[in-house]
Amino acid sequence: MTTLEYVLLGLLAREPLSGYDLAQQIKTRVAFFWRAQHGQIYPALARMERAGLVVYEFVAQAERPNKKIYRPTEAGIAALRAWLTTPVEIAPARDELVLRAYCIWLADRAGTIALFREHERLHRERLALYERNQGWMAREWGERVHDPNSPHFASYIAIERGIGSERAYAEWCGWVAAQLEQTAAANER
């Protein structure tokens, strides 16, 4: 089983969805820790259906294309549960911006400052988005965001990771840009 299949199971365990819905939810709700396009999702669902991890209900629609609403089987939930506490490899991220940093001594100064300031902005933007999102959860879901048996708790702690990640990244970008600006200013004097 691929990790994507567990992502799909995890989403379907919350609510039954079509392949199209899954693609949307991955884009909007879990994009900060996973991504997948429909070209990958549909074959995965077919595999999982054959393996008995999910079943679908065919829904004929008049004014839109027909669709298949998938939900996990008991075997699917059991497979997900069993997988959840198995060891996780820390996947060393491939980060192009850190690569630029590692080669920064060769680069054009002004262009580099612009690049890092731009990324600082992007990450602060995301940070604000995630914080608004978490605030909404707290308001909307109340105490359930602290109940480990609720999916709302799960959403809450996951987005907390997004927030910490973006904050640390934005701060680093700003710190790098500031260092470059400082020495640029010193040289002009």
Partner DNA sequence: AGAGCCATGTAACCGGTTACATGATTAG
Partner DNA sequence: CTAATCATGTAACCGGTTACATGGCTCT
**What is the spatial distance between Cα 12 and Cα 38, in angstroms, rounded to a whole number?**
16
By the rule CB under 8 A, 28 interacts with its own copies? no
67 vs 133 by CB, closer to its own copies: 133
34: left (phi over 0), alpha (psi -120 to 50) or beta: beta
65 vs 87 by CB, closer to its own copies: 87
Count of residues engaged in binding its own copies, rule: CB under 8 A: 73
User: Residues in the chain, how many?
Assistant: 189
Restricted to residues 121-180, the positions that interact with its own copies (CB under 8 A) are 122-123, 146-151, 153-155, 157-158, 160-162, 164-165, 167-169, 171-172, 175-176, 179-180
Restricted to residues 62-81, the positions that interact with its own copies (CB under 8 A) are 77, 80-81
Whole-number minimum distance, CB 113 to DNA, in Å?
A: 27
**What is the spatial distance between Cα 41 and Cα 22, in angstroms, rounded to a whole number?**
8
HSE-up (13 A, CA, CB side) for residue 126: 21
By the rule CB under 8 A, 58 interacts with its own copies? no
Whole-number minimum distance, CB 65 to DNA, in Å?
A: 4
For residue 75, report the phi and psi dihedrals to the nearest 5 degrees. Answer: -60, -35
Whole-number minimum distance, CB 65 to its own copies, in Å?
A: 28
Among 60, 62, 88, 185, indicate the residue that binds its own copies (CB under 8 A).
88
**What is the spatial distance between Cα 21 and Cα 156, in angstroms, rounded to a whole number?**
21
**What is the spatial distance between Cα 186 and Cα 189, in angstroms, rounded to a whole number?**
5
